[in-house]
Structure 1
Amino acid sequence: MEITLAMRILRTALLLLLAATAPAFAQPEPIKVKVFIASMFEIGENTGDRAGEFQYWFDDYWKDATPIEVRGATHPVFCNDDGVCGAVLGMGKVASSSSMMAILLNPAFDFSQSYYLLTGVAGTPPSRGTIGSVFWGSWLIDYDLGHRWAEGEVPAGDPLFMPRKGYEDVRLFQLNPALTARAFAISRDVPLADSDSAQTYRQRYPDAVAKGAPVVGTGTHMTGDTFFHGPGLSAEAQYIADLYQADDYVITEMEAAALAQVIGRLHGTDRIMSLRGAVNFDQGNPDESTLAHLDPKPGETAGGFDETLQNIHAVGAVVVTDIVTNWNQWQSGVPAQ
């Protein structure tokens, strides 16, 4: 009896000793994200078929990466060994921003020093851009946060939009001017792809900018779930940009201002870059109705879609490479030019 009791005591002591000295179950270290690349949609697979917004990024950075599922996000996140991560977030303000918040809050990632590259295709006014051009966003404006009324319900020539009070902090974001300027300086001379179909389509417009070759530029990105078209609403977008004392409106898209709000809540907006390529004009040519422009006849589309995707990737990738290669300079903030 005494031997049995002694053995039990000894066994208990050994178990307690093992528990005290055994290493705790190791939790994996979160991935330190240097650059997060956000795209809004992919047409089919991530690689090997017709490219959407994500495919050129995927082929460049994540072909061998293991997908990381994130609860609440529409698509998995991919990361490489250099700290470049990315995902498809979904189209529109709600889908994209909810995916972004789920990713930001996931403990698998460390976003404490991350830069964000928000990318995708977009529209442009023919007076300021053309098919294939790529624009860095200097300001992000939410097109939808305000009051609107029909023409004819106010005196002729009066504006049809008024800002709604209470949204001052979320309807307008000036992105870090130093970061925008640095990204533009790094990428302004990147050669851009073009297509015969886009060149032909541009000649339908009288504007010199619309007829010209694609370029890299900067300006205001207008975010709206309303997929607006026509010279009237294009003029309204510029009116809103002027009203908020932002730069000229150059891009119409559907996600950036919402994503800026989400990222800003957790990490601020100083490291956000918005990069969009124009695949359509925001209005028809002077001889074309808005409906005809929205629903073109076969053979009358703008062309240049894939070339614009290539341009977005080419322009953005040189900035991503600069950040990752010179991380010791970028880690604490945008390096001086």
Structure 2
Amino acid sequence: MAALVGACLALPLGALPATAADAAPSAMACKPAAACETKIPVKVVIVSLFEIGEDEGDTAGEFQLWKERRGLTQRIAFPQGFHDLYYNSETQVLGMVTGIGTSRSTASTMALGLDERFDLRQAYWLVAGIAGIDPEDATIGSVAWARYVVDGDLAHEIDAREIPADWKTGYFARGTQGPNDKTTPVDPESGEVFAINPSLESWAFRLTKDVKLPDTPAIAAERRAFAGYPMAQKPPFVLEGEQLSAMTFWHGKLLTDWANDWVDYWTKGKGEFVTSAMEDTGVMQAMTRLDASGRVDAERVLVLRAGSNFTMPPEGTDAATYLLRENEGYAGLEAAVENLYTVGSVVVDELLGNWDTYAAKTP
């Protein structure tokens, strides 16, 4: 592993270097976030949300496969973020780990975007993480490209024991008259829904929709319990579907129904809830602000989530029992992180292999 460096070069700002290999040594010697004579050029940022243990050599979380297989060996100090950054100067791929939750993902993404050591103006960002997955739409191990990212935290709530008899839930959108109110218009500036660049997302999906994902005995055994869900009975596959981000790890049939209603409301009926996680609206919020300041291009963000567990139990199992069992280890974790890498790498390879085309213009 490359040594971690943090000394500062007191040099004036100048032109960008000819290659990343020329830029890396001097820029890495600059203090975190400080201005440098040169900037590290970045073509792709891999955004992982957590790692289980070490970055290499043990059970893989979201970051480990990217680090090992993409040669992200150059460690860059990042004390203003959650986790040090790793870089490959030949491919110009940068890997980051934001930390779990929207607060950490917002802070880490903003910190990277404002770090003067990096040139991120043409970078593509691939958010790649595990998720809960709705058995109505797919099985664990499946991988979904998000068209919309929806926030599940900004809301009104009253205790479920106090809700009116005709309310399905005590949790409802701000500005509405309760969960039955479907007519109050969505505020596009509310920060509760972010649309992924549709042409970029559809390009990524077309590129990967026929990727064959492996099946495993563990996944097959888990999905057999979901006999009433045809899509859950299929082996893992690539699909499109929306991502709901919330700081609370929720679970159950009733909350899965809520998630579907919530995504339907905020996307004006255009989206379909498929995956649940905790960070993506934080990333998108930061990217929106960074784009406004010219630091990044928010039209170059993709969100890819793989199902490591179902968002609800099978029939005959109560939600509490199933959730507590899942907390002991997700049945689809290994497949999810592997399939994230397999599918995401198709897009990364295409971007890098045809950079002359994609540098100036998104697909």
> Under a length normalisation based on structure 1, what TM-score does the superposition of the two structures give?
0.87
Higher Rg: 1
Q: How does 1:161-240 map to 2 (within 5 A)?
A: 161-165=171-175, 168-205=189-226, 206-240=228-262
Identity percentage of aligned residues = 32
Whole-angstrom distance in 2 between the partners of 1:297 and 1:224: 18
CA contact (8 A) 1:138 1:220 kept: yes
> Of residues 84, 92, 109 in structure 1, which corresponds to 2:93?
84
Aligned residue pairs, count: 311
Q: How does 1:3-82 map to 2 (within 5 A)?
A: 27-63=36-72, 65-80=73-88, 81-82=90-91
- RMSD of equivalent CA atoms: 2.1
Change in CA separation of 1:290 and 1:159 when aligned onto 2, cut-off 3 Å: closer
CA contact (8 A) 2:110 2:290 kept: no
Q: Structure 1 residue 285 and structure 2 residue 314: aligned?
A: yes
Aligned twin of 2:130? 121
Q: Residue type of the partner of 1:252?
A: S
User: Deviation of residue 74 (structure 1)?
Assistant: 1.3
Deviations 1:194-219 (A, max 9, x none): 21011011000120111111110111
Change in CA separation of 1:93 and 1:189 when aligned onto 2, cut-off 3 Å: same
Q: Structure 1 residue 259 and structure 2 residue 283: aligned?
A: yes
Aligned twin of 1:156? 166
Aligned twin of 1:130? 139
Query: What is the DSSP-based 3-state SS (H/G/I as helix, E as strand, rest coil) of the residue aligned with 2:357?
Result: helix
> Of residues 263, 277, 295 in structure 1, which corresponds to 2:324?
295
Q: Residue type of the partner of 2:236?
A: P
Q: Residue type of the partner of 2:119?
A: D
CA contact (8 A) 1:131 1:302 kept: no
Aligned twin of 1:4? none
> Under a length normalisation based on structure 2, what TM-score does the superposition of the two structures give?
0.81
User: Deviation of residue 302 (structure 1)?
Assistant: 5.5
Whole-angstrom distance in 2 between the partners of 1:85 and 1:331: 16
Deviations 1:172-228 (A, max 9, x none): 001100010001111112221221011011000120111111110111100000111
Whole-angstrom distance in 1 between the partners of 2:345 and 2:39: 24
Whole-angstrom distance in 1 between the partners of 2:289 and 2:190: 11
CA contact (8 A) 1:71 1:102 kept: no
Aligned twin of 1:19? none
CA contact (8 A) 2:98 2:105 kept: yes
CA contact (8 A) 1:230 1:282 kept: yes
